Every structure is written in C-alpha cells, then in structure tokens.
Structure 1
Amino acid sequence: MGFLLAGAGVIAYDGVVNEFTYCGSSVRFVRSLKTAALIAIDYLGLNELDPEYERKIKALHKSSAERLLDTCLLNGGLYIKVGQGFAAVNHILPIEYTSTLAKLQDECLPTSKADVQKVFRSDFGQLPEEIYKEFDYKPVAAASLAQVFKARLPSGEQVAVKVQYNDLQKRFISDMATIIFLQDIIELIFKDYNFGWILNDLRKNLVHELDFWHEGQNAERCAKDLQKLNYVLVPKIYWPHTKTRVLTMEWMDGLKISNVEGIKRQKLSIADIDLKLYNMFAEQIFKTGFVHADPHPGNIFVRKNARNGKADIILLDHGLYEELPANVRIPLCDFWVATVMRDEAKMKVAAQQMNVVDHLKFGDVLFQQPVQMHEGPIRSKLTQEDIDYVQKVARENFDIIMSTLKEMPRSLLFVVRNLNTVRAIGNMHGDVVDRPCAMARHAQHCLYVQRGGSPLEYLKWLQRRFYFEYCLWSKAFRERLLNWYLNFLYIVGRAPPSARTLMRDIRKQDQQMLT
C-alpha cells in the first residue's frame, strides 16, 4: 500500500508541477521499447534459406514500417523529426520503410487550443488574441516540432505564426535519450545497421531547431545570401512578435512543390521549377556555404509570379542549417564537376583536400548512384532498377559506406541529406532536368567567384565551361550517331532487328555487370 501511495504521489506531483512531463516520457519509452522489441522478434524469426524469404521480408519491412509510423505519430515531437530523417535515406533503407515514413511529413498531430495559449502566456504573458488583431486557432500546418497558424497583425499584415508544442523543450532530453538508447539496442541485435553516431551528431542541431529566435536569424541570412536569385522568396520575420517558441513571419500563399497536379493547373513549367530549385541549393552548397538542411517538400512552396507568369520558389522552415567552410566548399565544387566530367584523377585530388580517402565511395554517397569510371555519364534519371541496385550495393558494402560517411567532414552530412531530398523531389517531377549537370555548371561559376573573380580567372572559367559543355555534347552526339548508323544498317538489310536497340542494351548490360 505504501508503494502505491508513493507512486500516486509522484504522479500527482509530476502532473501539478511538470504537466505529466516525466510520466509522458515513461509512456513513450515503454511504447517505443515495445515497438522495437516486436520488430526485432519478427526479423530474428526469418530464415534466409526459406524459399519465400524475399516475399516475406518485403512484407515484414512494410509491417515494421507501419509500426514505426504509428509509434512516431503517437509519441510526436523528436520521434517524428527522426522518422523524417530516416525517410530521406531512400538510397540505403528499403523502399517499404522510406515510402511509409515519408507520410510523417504531412501527418503530424495538431495540439489543443489550451496548449497554444500556455505557450503564449509563458513567452509573452498574453494570449494570442491580445497580441494579434486576428488569430485562427485552427492550424494550417502541423510539423514535427510546431504548428503554423494564420493571423493578422494590429497594423493589418497577414502573417503565419509558428508555435512550438508546449511540452517539447521539457521532454527533449528524455526523448532524445530514449531514441539513442533504442538505437544502441538495435545495433546490438542487427550488426549491419549503425546510425547511432549520426543521431549523436544531430543532437546539437536539434537544440538550435528548438530556438525560434535562432530560426528567424537563419531566415534573414538565407534571404540575404540568395537575394540575387530574384525567384527565391523567404518570408519576412516580425521580430516584435517573435520569441523562443513563437515565430511570426510574412504569410505567403503557394503550392507544395510536391503538388504536381496543382502546378500543372497553374500552367507552370516543371523544368523551370526544378532548374531554379537546383540552382538555389547549388548557390548555398557551392558558394554561400550556409545550407538549408531540411528541404523536404513541405518546406518548399511554388507560386506564380504576377509579373512574368513564371514560378517563384518559397523556402520555409529555417531551423536547421549547416555551415560549409571554404576549405570544404571549394574542393567540393571541384569534386562535383570532376565527377560529372568522369575525371577520376581530379576527383581523387579534390577528395583528398576534404580528407576523404575513398573518392569513389564518396561519389556514390554524394550522387546517390554508382560513379565508377566505366559506368558512363552520371545519370539525371534513375529507374527503379537503378534504385534497387544502389540499395543492394548499400547493403553489401554497408560498412564501407558508413566509414565513408564517418571520415567525411561532419558539415557534409547534412549536405548529403539536402542532396538526397532534392534528388527525390526531381524524381517525383519525372527528372525533367539533368540535376548533376545543372549543379556542375553552378559549381564551375562558384569556383570562378571564390578564386577572386579576376579577368584571368574569368578566362579560365570560360575555358572550363566550354570544355565541359563540349564533352557533354560530344558524348551524346557520338551515341546518337552510332545509334543512327546501326538503324541504317538494319534498314538496308545489313544488320539484324536487335541492332535498333543495341545501344540501349549495351548501357543496360554495363549496369548489370556491376550486379
């Protein structure tokens, strides 16, 4: 009886003083432990010698991903943020996981009006309706760390108000400890998966993401860095109405970049949008060094420019950024261009300048596809067979890939995530723009600017640019000529019907040789 009374007293104290923060953490811990245990038991029960193994493991991937999704949604907060991160590594994890966990970008759970009011009382000492002329308590978006509401300032401007979940900062330490603990348990059971060190690196960045004042400063710096790209829009921050857990910014209407049907209805060009998207992030990665580390489709909107009828890109959610120093940024430009040009010697030199030992594996990670020199040009479009192959290579060379990630500069981890997420957006649009080449052109220009921008450097850049374009054109032209020649031989009866598809079959065979 004494233990029961003591337990009831602890729960009551936690409820009165901490709003059940620690009790909630315990519930989330038990829920997460149960999910991890059930998934582990299912996988340990599989037999690789079973003739039905491939079918069963795909079904198990799907059911396990659904369990993780449900647990992340029930736990909320950091669990959703981590789940979103795993959804982005679709070149390593099975598609059943990444496609299921991708729902976390849109299916976050809204909180109550009372919780929103608690945040405002704590940060402002006032309720929202006392600060704004209008405030709609129905959220227009619910993300992993916060909700967004529509409001109007006393001066009349329509604004978006981002409000952090009330208990998020209180539960941060316990939830992060739980996630890392469960990761350590998974590593003990499944030796092939090792993401714990990445989670430890993420922890310090998540602390910054919980500070909306810091996010507002990031937004202003981003706007300044990209001001020369007049098609990039970053919402203005209203500082008098911003605190650590409340961010008030300019309201901007637009469509999610993933809303392909809506974009087509507005008669906007997908190719124009993608080229602008790639140039925007190439400018950050290769020139400014201040890189948006969470560019999922929910953070990028598109709208029609009233003056020219073309697309503007609206970049949202500036909580998570990574800084690339010049000693990483400049060799990264060289490496990117050299990889697209298939110049292995320059790739190796640039990789060494970044303290990367295996330049080919680094290229695999950076481009999310094999870059071995006999593979032909870097592809702008990946088929499902390509993706299956990359996942197979990732599984078979997991230790090598993880060691490559560990040896590369830590600042590049979020850049890899950025590139992978942007690649996924391009794939969603049908890969209508050659992303590697588009970004290589931007990298070349950034090299010219970063090396002084003198007339001599300009001439060097012009020469490199001409050679770059010539190599791309000549490669495509040679293949086209050979294809025409083989078709001509078939027409005049000097070759079998298979000659018409010979070039395509050769490229396919080159791909299969690596599998």
Structure 2
Amino acid sequence: MAGRLLKVSSVATALVATSGVYLYTKQLDPNDLSLVRFGRAAAATAVISYDYLTAFRNVEPGTDEYSALKSKVHLRSAERLRALCCANRGTFIKVGQHLGALDYLLPGEYTSTLRVLHSRAPQSSMDEIQQVIREDLGKEVPQVHWDLSTKRILTMEFAEGGQVNDRDYMRRHGINVNKISENLGKIYSEMIFVHGFVHCDPHPGNVLVRVCPHSGKTHIVLLDHGLYQELQPGFRLDYCRLWQALITSDMLGVERCSRRLGAGDLFPLLACMLTARSWNSVNTGITSTPVTHSEDVEIRTNVSQYLPQISELLNRVPRQMLLLLKTNDLLRGIEAALQTRAASSSFLNMSRCCVRALARHRRSKASSRTRRLRISVGEVLGLWRLGLYEVYLQVKGHPLARWLWALLGCLG
C-alpha cells in the first residue's frame, strides 16, 4: 500500500520536475540556475519518497489510524511540493498551479495545498520587474499602455472578478455556473480547433468571471497571456479528427488519428488521458456514459499503475500535445469544481468547431466551385444535425418531458 501511495506522490513530483525541464527558459537570478533548481527538485523527491516508504511500517492498512496517517503524509508532502514551487519560482509555479487544479486526479491534500498558488503565488520584487523593464523599455516606471509591451512584458489593465471555480462568488452575483462552463468550453474549442492559437495556462487564478456594471452581461476574463501555443496546421487537423472520433465513438478513427499523432500502440492511453475517462467509457461512448465515482477511483488507481507508460507516451507525442494535455487538465479541473463535468453541451460545441475547422480546410484544398459548394452544404448539414441533437437533449432533460415519460411508463 505504501508503494502505491508513493506512486501517487511520484506522479505529482515527476510532473513538477519534468514539466519544469520542458518549460524552463531563462533565469535572472544566480540562485535560479538550472543546477540549483533541479537539485532542489531532486532533494524534495528524495524526502517525499522516504516519508512514504517509512511512515506506514508499523501501521495496519485499512484502519482508522492508517487513514489518518495517510492524510498527514499527503499533506506534508504537498507542503514540501509547494515549498519547492515557491523556491524555484517561474515555471515551477505554473506546474504547481496545474497540479492544484487536478481535483479529479490527485488526493485532496495535494490540490488544496497547491491551490493557493492560483491567487497567492510568490511575487517578483520591484527591482526584478524594473530590471526587465529597463532592459526592454529603457524606463524606470512604465505607464499602462500597449506600446510599453514587449516579448517579455505584457502591460494590461487590472480586472475585477471572481475566480472561475468560485461557485459562492457566482451565486452571490447571480452568475449561471452552467453557462460559464459552457462558454469557457466554447472559447477553448474556438482557440484549439478553429484558430490554432491557444492560451495554455487556464488555471482558476487566470480565469475570472464578472458581471459588467454597464451592460449587466456576464464576462469571462482571461489573464496572464504569457503562455500561448500556435498549433501547426497538420497537428491541429489531426487533433480535430481525433476528437471527432472520440465524440462519435469511432474506435477505428481513434486508433488511426492517435497513431498519426505519434501514440503508436499506446493509443488507448492517449484517448483516456485526453478525455479523463476509462477505456471502457471511451468504447461505450463518452457523450452517452455519465461519469461515476467508481470510474474516478479507477482512473486515480490507473494513473499510479501506468506511470511508465504515461511517461513513454509523453515522450512520443509532439510537444504541442503536452501543452494541450496540460490545458485539458486545467479546464477539466474547473469543470470538476463547477460540477459540470462531461456535460453534453461541451461535446456539442467541440463537434461544431471540429466540423467548421475541417470544412474550412477542405474548402482551401478544393479545386472547383462545385466542390467548395458541396463542402459548404455538408458543413451546414452537419451543424444542423448537431443543433437538432442539442434540441433533443434539452427536451429530454426538461422536467416536463421526464414527467411525461414516467406517465407513459405507468400507463404502459
């Protein structure tokens, strides 16, 4: 049992270390040299591993004492990870913020401890900020203007609002939680599938919601535009086709598109990681199979058991996929906090964007007006079918419809 718990902590620690290696770019402080930063990561890993290996030696598994001790070990390990992220700063903070959003994957002690990095991350000193400003702008104190932004500085207005995972804030301000989840999904589907230019750091501290005081409309505000990924057209289209296959339960298409993206014989694992669903649910249909507690438990268990395969898969797929996986995890964490996971509307919006993106690509390759017209007609019909299906789901889920079905069942 201690070994399995050790694997759970290893998932978090490995993600911190390996993601830091991938994203690490430049340091301004000698204390932040890569040797020092990853030396800290190695030391934290060793201490956490030793704690898990020795803490449970004299405790019987399955007892109340064991459960209480497990929670304590999780908590102090999470605090060590948080201290590591704060000490190394930079991309380690980003990874800590990512882990803090994985409520569906990591123990609560980890997510609650690391979640503070969403809104209370260590701040750079004014001297450090002014150093970058002097290097790039030649000024001591910048004014708030777009012309003062550079490759390393993005000067933006201060935005009021509540974090996107704060249900209490939304309740107090009369904000529809389901609509926020749906619109956030639309925003990211447009970015990923249609435009191929993606904000890849949507942890709750970077996504605010607010009611506009002038129009009364609800706004979603994206902050921190320092981590964008421009998707290569070929990758984006294969990713579109893969998601279409996943949504329609086209398993041959899932395998074909996954292999095109480099997954090889690990294509079932890629499908499970993208959807955060079990392989059985992927086969049955992610749009028709509700998420259950037993499935969540199965996923948490498998993450620790399949860590070598996960590492192998991450080494195989294009680097663009790594940031999309991170983005998916963060969005899924928000959905879990809002209790809107696996909503049918999110899959419908993804399908619409995939249909539009693939139709636009086919039109760009068409050699005749007739061919382009046929593609456009097919696109309209595809979107129309999705619209009809959405109406069907809305009617089916309406309380009156459920009452009528129950009445017909009684009469039958």
Q: Using the alignment, how far apart are the partners of 1:126 and 1:417 within structure 2?
A: 36
> Which amino acid counterpart does residue 461 of structure 1 have in structure 2?
E
SS at match of 1:45: helix
Contact (CA 8 Å) 2:103, 2:336: kept in 1 or not? no
Residue 178 of structure 2, aligned match among 255, 271, 274: 271
CA RMSD of aligned residues (A): 4.0
Contact (CA 8 Å) 1:268, 1:310: kept in 2 or not? no
What residue in structure 2 maps to residue 440 of structure 1?
351
Spell out, residue by residue over 1:409-447, the C-alpha distance to the aligned partner (whole angstroms, 9 max, x if none). Answer: 221111111111112112222208432333223222222
Q: 1:10-25 maps to which residues of 2 (within 5 A)? A: 21-22=30-31
What residue in structure 1 maps to residue 362 of structure 2?
451
Q: CA deviation at 1:78?
A: 3.9
Q: Using the alignment, how far apart are the partners of 1:443 and 1:98 within structure 2?
A: 32
> Which amino acid counterpart does residue 252 of structure 2 have in structure 1?
A
> Which amino acid counterpart does residue 36 of structure 1 have in structure 2?
T
C-alpha spacing 1:477/1:25, structure 2 compared with 1 (3 Å): closer
Are residues 1:427 and 2:345 paired?
no
Spell out, residue by residue over 1:25-53, the C-alpha distance to the aligned partner (whole angstroms, 9 max, x if none). Answer: 99877765654332122122256896326
Contact (CA 8 Å) 1:371, 1:378: kept in 2 or not? no
Q: CA deviation at 1:127?
A: 2.9
SS at match of 1:318: coil
RCO higher in structure (CA 8 A, sep ≥6) = 2
Q: 1:42-191 maps to which residues of 2 (within 5 A)? A: 42-45=51-54, 51-52=60-61, 55=67, 56-88=69-101, 92-121=105-134, 123-128=136-141, 131-132=142-143, 159=144
Spell out, residue by residue over 1:41-73, the C-alpha distance to the aligned partner (whole angstroms, 9 max, x if none). Answer: 212225689632662444322221112213333
Unaligned 5+ runs, structure 1 = 1-17, 133-158, 160-236, 495-515
C-alpha spacing 1:347/1:245, structure 2 compared with 1 (3 Å): closer
Larger Rg: 1
Q: Using the alignment, how far apart are the partners of 1:23 and 1:343 within structure 2?
A: 48
Spell out, residue by residue over 1:235-267, the C-alpha distance to the aligned partner (whole angstroms, 9 max, x if none). Answer: xx612x235654323444433323333333332
C-alpha spacing 1:355/1:309, structure 2 compared with 1 (3 Å): same
C-alpha spacing 1:367/1:30, structure 2 compared with 1 (3 Å): closer
Q: Using the alignment, how far apart are the partners of 1:334 and 1:121 within structure 2?
A: 46
Residue 37 of structure 1, aligned match among 19, 24, 46: 46
Q: 1:343-354 maps to which residues of 2 (within 5 A)? A: 343-354=250-261
Residue 269 of structure 2, aligned match among 348, 357, 361: 361
What residue in structure 2 maps to residue 282 of structure 1?
189
| Bigger proportion of residues as helix | 2
Contact (CA 8 Å) 1:238, 1:250: kept in 2 or not? no
Aligned residues: 368
Q: 1:346-495 maps to which residues of 2 (within 5 A)? A: 346-357=253-264, 358-372=266-280, 373-378=282-287, 382-431=291-340, 433-434=343-344, 435-452=346-363, 454-466=372-384, 473=392
TM-score, with normalisation over the residues of structure 2?
0.74
Unaligned 5+ runs, structure 2 = 1-26, 365-371
Q: 1:314-353 maps to which residues of 2 (within 5 A)? A: 314-353=221-260
Spell out, residue by residue over 1:177-203, the C-alpha distance to the aligned partner (whole angstroms, 9 max, x if none). Answer: xxxxxxxxxxxxxxxxxxxxxxxxxxx
Q: Using the alignment, how far apart are the partners of 2:215 and 2:93 within structure 1?
A: 39
Contact (CA 8 Å) 1:292, 1:321: kept in 2 or not? yes
C-alpha spacing 1:389/1:120, structure 2 compared with 1 (3 Å): same
